[in-house]
């Protein structure tokens, strides 16, 4: 058995790569952009302390580690959070446990927290980040990846007393914008601690008192964190967490008067229904949500309606919704919520809809157009989803081509590169199942089944880390 802790393994790897590169600790700190960061590098190499995520990413880049140091950092960070949560977890009792919101109140006793209103730009890495301190209250003792599901359920009963504090809304807004810009290009597991830290941070602020104007703004921002956690949970197959956070996001959207947030939550509710097989329910959610919604989210909801209507064999409604989508799609602008439904997304949706309606030739044309537009974007999930549409296009035609369909489905899996994305993996499984009975002996179909099994196991594991 490996006796080294994750932090020890990180330190050993950092030491090995630094010395192989012929760099001193001081020189590496300077190259990574932290001139006074020698101390934290030293502590990390001795297995005593973690750098911040940003510092680790810069170290990984400077040492040409190709993500090896970042992966070890995340393992060490996860282990540290679990230890911290175990220490914070209350003893077992026969009495009814207190709400998980007690974890948030413990922040009041955390002396190292920086107020969000402080413009804090450390020159050295000795400073412990808010994210790490806040996550200590998360409660990973449950053994599951997401820690805020129970707290979100409890919070819905206590929203009436929320009264936020005037902290720096700009900093939170910048964080949400960065999430919007990078969500589709970031491995899902890497987003979990950041989003949950933001959620805990803003919920703490909502317990304080400020002017109604600040409260309205902060409430909307809290809703966006819940929305993103729900979206992330859905991607990783943890619907219970998504369903716990969506009512919070809905409440905040109503309280803040945020039509974009409300429409985005509806799009997430559509996803839960559609990928759960309730196509009629999903179609109605998307159609109803388009009434008086924000123009930014309208084409996404129209695309959602078209996909579900096509799967429900409502051809007329599917085509009408598809036309509505094409009439309203926008140029990509990064704001909180789903990415703008641009030309690439419109072609990808059209590919899915035409495939579901049995027009494989039209579906193939739209899928290939979407893939060309996706080249170089880094949107691995979108690429995977479009390859699945391409796979269906080869099956939904007069003369099906199972080998090309299998190759496209394998490309869908390879595009996500061992990153668990439920809405890519499960549709790929549907493609394979549709082929296996009739063409299961074809090598391409058999190979797809093997790769699919590996990705299914990865997705299942994401729910219990």
Q: Which is more confidently placed, 130 or 446?
A: 446
Rounded Cα distance between 300 and 292, Å, is 14
Is 142 a residue whose pLDDT tops 60? no
pTM over 0.85: no
Rounded Cα distance between 27 and 96, Å, is 55
pLDDT of residue 312: 94
Residues contacting residue 464 through CB under 8 Å, at least 6 positions apart = 143, 144, 145
Query: Are the C-beta atoms of residues 301 and 289 closer than 8 Å to each other?
Result: yes
If you average pLDDT over every residue of the chain, what do you get? 78
pLDDT of residue 130: 38
pLDDT of residue 317: 96
Q: Average of pLDDT values for 354-371?
A: 94
Lowest mean pLDDT among 4-8, 304-308, 351-355, 391-395: 4-8
- Chain length of the chain: 465
- Residues 170-204: tens digit of each pLDDT: 788 888 888 887 887 787 778 888 888 888 888 77
pLDDT of residue 66: 86
% of the chain exceeding 70 in pLDDT: 76
Rounded Cα distance between 119 and 116, Å, is 8
Query: Are the C-beta atoms of residues 423 and 271 closer than 8 Å to each other?
Result: yes
For residue 308, what are the CA distances in angstroms to 199, 223, 261, 321? 31, 26, 22, 10
Q: Which is more confidently placed, 387 or 167?
A: 387
Query: Are the C-beta atoms of residues 136 and 88 closer than 8 Å to each other?
Result: yes
Query: Are the C-beta atoms of residues 244 and 150 closer than 8 Å to each other?
Result: yes
Is the domain 1-79 a CATH 3.30.479.10 member?
A: no
pLDDT of residue 137: 36
Domain boundaries, given as residue ranges, for the chain: 1-79, 99-121+129-256
Q: Average of pLDDT values for 351-356?
A: 93
C-alpha triplet 32, 173, 99: angle, nearest 5°: 100
Q: Using 50, 70 and 90 to split pLDDT, how confident is the model at 462?
A: low
Rounded Cα distance between 364 and 352, Å, is 9
- Please give the helix or strand (H or E) that residue 64 lies within, else none: none
Residues contacting residue 445 through CB under 8 Å, at least 6 positions apart = 402, 403, 406, 432, 435, 436, 439
DSSP string, 171-200: HHHHHHHHHHHHGGGS-HHHHHHHHHHHHH
User: Is the dihedral angle over the CA atoms 51, 185, 130, 248 positive or is it negative?
Assistant: negative
- Residues 55-114: tens digit of each pLDDT: 898 999 999 998 889 888 888 877 776 665 555 444 444 343 343 333 333 333 333 323
Q: Which is more confidently placed, 122 or 413?
A: 413
Q: Average of pLDDT values for 294-320?
A: 93
CB atoms within 10 A of CB 80: 19
Q: Which is more confidently placed, 160 or 390?
A: 390
Residues contacting residue 239 through CB under 8 Å, at least 6 positions apart = 233, 272, 276
pLDDT of residue 28: 93
Rounded Cα distance between 328 and 331, Å, is 10
């Amino acid at each position: 058995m490996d006796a080294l802790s994750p932090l020890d393994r990180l330190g050993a790897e950092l030491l090995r790569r630094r010395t192989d590169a012929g760099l001193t600790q001081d020189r590496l700190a300077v190259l990574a952009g932290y001139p006074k960061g020698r101390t934290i590098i030293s502590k990390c190499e001795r297995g005593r302390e973690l750098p911040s995520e940003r510092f680790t990413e810069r170290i990984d880049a400077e040492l040409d580690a190709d993500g090896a140091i970042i992966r070890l950092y995340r393992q060490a960070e996860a282990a540290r959070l679990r230890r911290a949560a175990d220490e914070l977890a209350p003893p077992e009792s026969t009495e009814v446990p207190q709400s998980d919101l007690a974890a948030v109140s413990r922040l009041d006793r955390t002396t190292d927290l920086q107020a969000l209103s402080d413009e804090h730009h450390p020159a050295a890495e000795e400073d412990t980040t808010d994210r790490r301190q806040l996550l200590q209250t998360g409660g990973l003792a449950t053994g599951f990846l997401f820690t805020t599901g129970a707290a979100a359920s409890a919070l819905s009963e206590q929203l009436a007393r929320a009264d936020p504090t005037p902290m720096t809304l700009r900093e939170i807004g910048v964080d949400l914008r960065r999430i919007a810009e990078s969500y589709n290009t970031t491995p899902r597991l890497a987003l979990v601690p950041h989003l949950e830290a933001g959620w805990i941070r803003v919920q703490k602020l909502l317990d304080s008192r400020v002017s109604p104007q600040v409260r309205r703004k902060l409430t909307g921002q809290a809703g966006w964190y819940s929305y993103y956690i729900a979206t992330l949970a859905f991607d990783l197959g943890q619907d219970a967490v998504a369903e716990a956070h969506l009512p919070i996001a809905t409440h905040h959207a109503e309280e803040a008067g945020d039509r974009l947030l409300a429409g985005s939550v509806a799009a997430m509710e559509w996803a839960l229904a559609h990928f759960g097989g309730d196509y009629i329910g999903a179609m109605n959610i998307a159609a109803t949500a388009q009434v008086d919604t924000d123009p930014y989210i309208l084409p996404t909801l129209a695309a959602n309606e078209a996909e579900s209507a096509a799967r429900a064999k409502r051809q007329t409604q599917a085509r009408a919704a598809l036309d509505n989508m094409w009439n309203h799609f926008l140029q990509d602008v990064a704001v909180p919520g789903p990415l703008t439904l641009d030309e690439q997304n419109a072609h990808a949706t059209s590919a899915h809809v035409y495939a579901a309606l049995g027009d494989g030739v039209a579906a193939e044309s739209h899928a290939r157009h979407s893939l060309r537009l996706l080249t170089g974007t880094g949107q691995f999930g979108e690429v995977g989803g479009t390859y699945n549409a391409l796979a269906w296009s080869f099956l939904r035609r007069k003369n099906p081509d199972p080998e090309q369909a299998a190759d496209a489905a394998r490309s869908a899996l390879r595009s996500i590169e061992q990153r668990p994305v439920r809405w890519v993996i499960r549709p790929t499984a549907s493609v394979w199942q549709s082929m296996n009975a009739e063409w299961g002996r074809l090598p391409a179909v058999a190979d797809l089944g093997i790769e699919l099994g590996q990705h299914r196991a990865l997705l299942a594991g994401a729910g219990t880390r």
